[in-house]
Structure 1
Amino acid sequence: MMLVKTWTKRFCMTVLFLAALGTTFQCISGVKAETMKNWWLDYSNSYQEHQQQYEKHATKTISLVFKQLNKASTLSTQISSQPVIAETPKLEDAINWNQYEKHTVVATGYTAGYESTGKSPEHPGYGITYSGVKVKRDLYSTIAADLSVYPIGTILFIPGYGYGVVADKGSAIQGNDLDLYYETVEDVFNEWGKKELDVFLVQMGNGTLTEDELHKLNNNETMQVFRQQYLSTKEE
């Protein structure tokens, strides 16, 4: 019982002390209790308003971040995972041909057939060149020339045709005339015909050419990308 009275007494004294303190503050500052109450209410309302605006702004910011992340994710899925394969340039564009001596020639397409050589497929010399190698249309093709100008084995680069290796001759071929080998008459008319153009002297021949030498030229590893381009075109 005594303990309850003691705590009641202490509580009343605390309340009186706070009341006296409030009265003293009002007397000194001139601020009334009602004014303090209004300040406190204004502060509470202002704090709540700022808190709501902050939460609203934070929500918008988070939403914007998620939108940007989603957009970035969408863009990333549109990027192809397939490797980019560079297109192999044409042989004419892959090498600086100006480093070689340039010659102006008149080049005519020809075949191994009767219309060009007077030989039929039954002839023992059909398709065999003066050098002894068989006619060939490849990356390095057999061509005919005036052997006093371009000896057997001479390598020329002929724009639009490729490499030509002198393997044959002809009685009608004089000076800077060339005959370029094609497999069919249709190929001659469709792909070449007769042209005057500049060719490039890659290597002067020594008067001989073998099947093995021609095979090595056409199977040079560094040139296979260009050979495949030609063979693909040929198959089409």
Structure 2
Amino acid sequence: MKKRTKSIFFILLFSFALYSTFTNVTNLSLSDFDDWMAAKFRGESLDGETLLQKNQDLSEKSLKIKNAPQTYVSSAVIEAVELLEDTIDFSQYPSHEVVATGYTAGYESTGKTPEHPGYGITYSGVNVKRDLYSTIAADLEMFPLGTVLFIPGYGYGVVADIGGAIKGNKLDLYFPTVNDVYNYWGKQTLDVYVVEEGNGQLSEEDLNQLNEDESLQVFRSQMTQ
């Protein structure tokens, strides 16, 4: 009897150690998988919003996304963008046709992991951000650092970064997660509007001032509802 009790004790101890190692390495819990599997078997794929949220949660954890603090989710930003487009006449600004793709700070876009010292930091030195004014990558010969563009369906983008494949009329638009890229953007050819040409520099203070513009706070309130 004592031998059997001792065996059960060691089995439980081993199971606990294995579970602890698993959660530390993957940043996932068994409940995450239980919820995901239950949703699959219940056919919740028909309930897009519920399953999308679960898949986003799992993807963010499994990729160990550790971006700079994000206040708003992309879906809410896009709702505010739609209001902006209805309110402001952007045709008054010079336009350029571009091919715009979405990217993240993660390895799949930048080749950097969260442990990399440059993870989430743009060429300009500011942290990636998805907000009323988001950080984007561009060809600096076409759009200098600090240039403010309005991208229909995305919102205001501030040129803060570069990329090896971002040449000429190509843009990379920042999103917090891979799911956001797939669900809200992908790759699009469209006209963007040059609201303000940059001077070749961009600081965190500059970006914060743009996002604190009092005239735009009514749109920010839409993001937090």
What is the TM-score with the length of structure 1 in the denominator?
A: 0.60
2:117 maps to what in 1?
A: 124
Larger gyration radius, structure 1 or structure 2: 1
2:126 matches 1:106: no
Counterpart for residue 144 of structure 1: 137
For structure 2, list consecutive stretches of 5 or more residues without a partner in the other structure. 1-79
RMSD, matched Cα: 1.2
Runs of 4+ in 1 over 4 A off after TM superposition: none
Listed one character per residue, the Cα deviations across residues 9-48 of structure 1 (whole Å, up to 9, x for unaligned) are xxxxxxxxxxxxxxxxxxxxxxxxxxxxxxxxxxxxxxxx
**How many angstroms does 1:190 deviate by?**
0.3
SS at match of 1:106: strand
Distance across 1 between alignment mates of 2:215 and 2:102: 28
Task: After TM superposition, give the deviation of residue 178 of structure 1 in Å.
Answer: 0.2
Higher relative contact order (CA 8 A, sep 6+): 2
Tell whether the 8 Å contact from 1:138 to 1:230 is kept in structure 2 after alignment. no
Quote the Cα distance in structure 1 between the aligned partners of 2:154 and 2:111. 24
The CA distance in 2 between the partners of 1:121 and 1:200, in whole Å, is 33
User: For structure 1, which segment, 195-204 or 223-232, has the greater mean C-alpha deviation from structure 2 after superposition?
Assistant: 223-232
Amino acid at match of 1:107: A
| CA shift for structure 1 position 168 | 0.2
Do the aligned partners of 1:138 and 1:231 also contact (CA within 8 Å) in 2?
A: no
Q: What amino acid maps onto 2:131 in structure 1?
A: D
CA shift, 1:231, in A, is 4.5
Identity %: 68
- The answer for the alignment partner of 1:115 in structure 2 is 108
Which structure 1 segments of 5+ residues have no match? 1-87
- Cα distance change, pair 212–193 in 1 and its aligned pair in 2 (3 A): same
Looking at structure 2, the residues matched to 184 and 218 of structure 1 have their Cα atoms a distance apart, in angstroms, of: 21
- In 1: Cα distance, 2:139 partner to 2:93 partner: 20
**Alpha-carbon deviation of 1:226?**
1.3
Q: Do the aligned partners of residues 113 and 201 (structure 1) sit closer, same or farther apart at CA in structure 2, a change above 3 Å counting?
A: same
Does the CA-based 8 Å contact 1:139-1:218 persist in structure 2? yes
